[in-house]
Structure 1
Amino acid sequence: MSDEHRALRETAAAVADTQIAPHAAMVDECAEFPEQSLKALIAANLHAVGVPEEYGGQGGDHLASAIVAEEIARACATTQQVAGGSELFATPVLLAGSPELKSKYLPRIASGEFLGAFALSEPEAGSDVASMRVHARAVPGGWTLNGTKRWITNAGHADVYIVFASTDPSAGARGISAFVVESTDAGIVFGALERKMGLRGSPTREITFDNVFVPSDRLIGEAGRGLRIALGTLDRTRTVVAAQAVGIAQAALDVATDYAKQRVQFGSPISQFQGIQFMAADMATNIRAARLLTWAASIACDQNHSEVGLAGAMAKCFASDTAMSATTDAVQILGGAGYVKDYPVERMMRDAKITQIYEGTNQIQRLVIARQLFSERR
């Protein structure tokens, strides 16, 4: 890391420890939106560090985004997930949006005035994105959207959404386009909050579009390029998911090692037992490896490397598997104490699970890795 990255990490860690961590248990227990924590991130300019300076942002690179995401997730994965919605909104606009579109929305994301969201998944189109049924029909002056999106983070709270829709059903994957939809557009209906295992304070809902009119200037890039924009976005934001997973895993290791040094059995702290030591050693080794994979993938994004997709898939897959195993082992080290809400590791274990699922399941990530591996050897 550069000196700037180290300073950013220290700032993010301080905000996380003092202004976010104290609210994490209540956010989870009550499934409440992390309003105070999000305000603290915005006040510290940590909510959208990747927005370029020309649009009022911090101009941080992908590594900066990953560093901040890890520190925030270490304190409260829900808060990091909510803030991450704005990055998911900003990335496709930066990749393919017109200068006018960037100038209209990115400054509001950078200032914290707007919260963003990314609407790609549907009830029948999860991993199979190309089979989406939400469609957009060309009308004078723009498009009308109809259909339903599912599993949308920040739905109902976000001010702006990236929405992917089929503009040419006969073209399949080549007929998908991307749009900016505002929460005030007529015809948007939000479903009930999903009752989730983890990230309980992060609002997740269905969104139904009933003849929602979107002006033509809110089309991102060209019609028919939406799937490429979506995949290009996910190639980059998977590094943030990986960082989120690393943060959760690191938090679980911290709690487990502190507990092991204090918990006495058979006359000794359990940290002196080889069984516990080996578990902690494996956790720490895998977390370090996951962090380095995440940083490498972030740097690949910053360099626009040809292996951005591969690097992101590896980082996301390994880091999320590490988060799941590390949090499970943390619960085991705490024993009965780990199974109750008096300690945070059971929350961390519930939060960790979704990192193996969203932004492409780990089975999909393994397909991405395997296809590139074998295509290179043909």
Structure 2
Amino acid sequence: MNGMDPELFEQFIEQLERYVRERLIPAEREVIEADRVPDEIVQEMRDMGLFGLTVPEEYGGAGLNTSQYARVVKTMAYAAPAYRSIFSINVGMFNSAIKNGGTEAQKTEWWPRIAAGEIACFGLTEPGSGSDSAAMATTARPDPSGNGWILNGTKRYITNAPHAAVGLIMARTEKEALPKNAHVSAFIVPMDTPGVTVGSPDHKMGQSGSHIADVILEDVHVPGEALLGGETGKGFVFAMKSLDNGRISVGAAATGYARRALDSALRYATERKAFGEPIANFQLIQQMLAESETEIYAAECMMTDVTARADRGENILRKAAAFKVFASEMCGRVVDRVVQIYGGAGYLAEYDAERFFRDARIYRIYEGTTQILQLQIAKHMLRDFAAQA
């Protein structure tokens, strides 16, 4: 994918960096206290085209390639995580699934709406299943009255569910688990469809302003056109392909947020004095700063590589998982060092270090936990080795 003209894209990134520093960061306190991104900022993000970053231009989007999209996410992630969260499901998950598996009619209907700023959610995880699709309980059965499907089940921890206009819902269309998860299909479900109920937003450890909630489906009737790709048994494949982009998004976000935390620690270390001099002069403080800089740089290099591979059309499942694992774990180590550099102040809510620590913890969990992704990486390593033997 060629993406946006490189010179034009660099101009956009410069504008976005100013917007992050001059508009989004000053508004963070309001986001945290109100636990929501102000409506006017969401509208500004719509006007900037952030909800349709990778939607093709002919459908109203910006037409960014994966490398450009990841840079936008990393830039936005320098500010509070809620800002990225509100548009990232649209771009990294919903739009990717439509691109990979949607019919022309589905692209024509949904891409312009997504690009215009309708918020999407992605319904895979359930109370009893996450990565284990064989245990998925949500069902989709043919509507006996004619064309269409009836969905029943509950989805859990669904980001943006309280605000979403549409959801991509995974449901089993076969009772028995089938090879390659062919028992799972994907459905495009407007959230105002009768029978769809969204629970109250869950209270979380961090990431104020970003909301997750249950989605309950009770005899939800959708037309046949709601089946992604018009074919059963492909839903999990589409979901996994879109998860590659979702994992790149999380990795980019973790990398951007680690940079924000490290910049904060640098500022604090040069201002805070002990024994008559800035603590930045102490070698063990410098060690923590240097280790953090080294790890962020490594994550940035991984991001550049995996997104370039995606733009060349390579299978990036293993590389995207590796990037997400490294970047999310790296961010956890960086924010832990930042708290340590702040010392006692790092444990106080009035300082940013405490918030960075709480916000960063989820990066190691969603879009595939570190442990699940390690299993996935190893499985594909062993499969590739066996194929070469």
| Alpha-carbon separation, structure 2, partners of 1:186 and 1:315 | 40
1:157 — aligned with what? 163
Asked if 1:90 corresponds to 2:95, the answer is yes
**Structure 1, residues 253-284: CA drift from partner, whole Å, max 9, x if none?**
00000111111111111111100101000001
- What are structure 2's unaligned runs of at least 5 residues? none
**Structure 1, residues 270-323: CA drift from partner, whole Å, max 9, x if none?**
1111001010000011011111111211112111213x0011011100000011
Structure 2 residue matching 1:22: 3-state secondary structure = coil
Asked if 1:281 corresponds to 2:297, the answer is no
Structure 2 residue matching 1:94: 3-state secondary structure = helix
1:69 Cα deviation (Å)?
Answer: 0.7
Asked if 1:271 corresponds to 2:276, the answer is no
| Alpha-carbon separation, structure 1, partners of 2:360 and 2:381 | 28
The more displaced of 163-172 and 247-256 is 163-172
Could you tell me whether the CA contact under 8 Å between 1:313 and 1:365 is conserved in 2? Answer: yes
Structure 1 residue matching 2:29: 3-state secondary structure = helix
Asked if 1:47 corresponds to 2:51, the answer is yes
The more displaced of 294-303 and 173-182 is 294-303
Letter in 1 for 2:355: R
Could you tell me whether the CA contact under 8 Å between 1:294 and 1:316 is conserved in 2? Answer: no
| Alpha-carbon separation, structure 1, partners of 2:154 and 2:37 | 23
Structure 1 residue matching 2:78: 3-state secondary structure = helix
1:120 — aligned with what? 124
2:368 — aligned with what? 360
1:227-306 matches, cutoff 5 A:
227-306=236-315
Structure 2 residue matching 1:288: 3-state secondary structure = helix
1:91 Cα deviation (Å)?
Answer: 1.1
TM-score between the two structures when normalised by the length of structure 2: 0.93
Structure 1 residue matching 2:359: 3-state secondary structure = helix
| Alpha-carbon separation, structure 2, partners of 1:142 and 1:19 | 46
Structure 1 residue matching 2:204: 3-state secondary structure = coil
Letter in 2 for 1:155: A
Letter in 1 for 2:43: K
The more displaced of 76-85 and 164-173 is 164-173
2:109 — aligned with what? 104
Letter in 1 for 2:166: V
1:60-71 matches, cutoff 5 A:
60-71=64-75
Could you tell me whether the CA contact under 8 Å between 2:198 and 2:214 is conserved in 1? Answer: yes
- What are structure 1's unaligned runs of at least 5 residues? none
1:170 — aligned with what? 176
1:38 Cα deviation (Å)?
Answer: 2.2
1:75 — aligned with what? 79
Aligned CA-pair RMSD:
1.5
Could you tell me whether the CA contact under 8 Å between 2:150 and 2:221 is conserved in 1? Answer: yes
2:26 — aligned with what? 22
Structure 2 residue matching 1:149: 3-state secondary structure = strand
Could you tell me whether the CA contact under 8 Å between 1:259 and 1:334 is conserved in 2? Answer: yes
Q: 1:371 aligns with which of 372, 376, 379?
A: 379
1:352 Cα deviation (Å)?
Answer: 0.8
The more displaced of 160-169 and 170-179 is 170-179
Structure 2 residue matching 1:170: 3-state secondary structure = coil
Could you tell me whether the CA contact under 8 Å between 1:8 and 1:64 is conserved in 2? Answer: no
Letter in 2 for 1:159: A
Could you tell me whether the CA contact under 8 Å between 1:34 and 1:201 is conserved in 2? Answer: no
| Alpha-carbon separation, structure 2, partners of 1:223 and 1:134 | 15
| Alpha-carbon separation, structure 2, partners of 1:19 and 1:101 | 35
1:290-369 matches, cutoff 5 A:
290-306=299-315, 308-369=316-377
Could you tell me whether the CA contact under 8 Å between 1:38 and 1:47 is conserved in 2? Answer: no
1:213 — aligned with what? 221
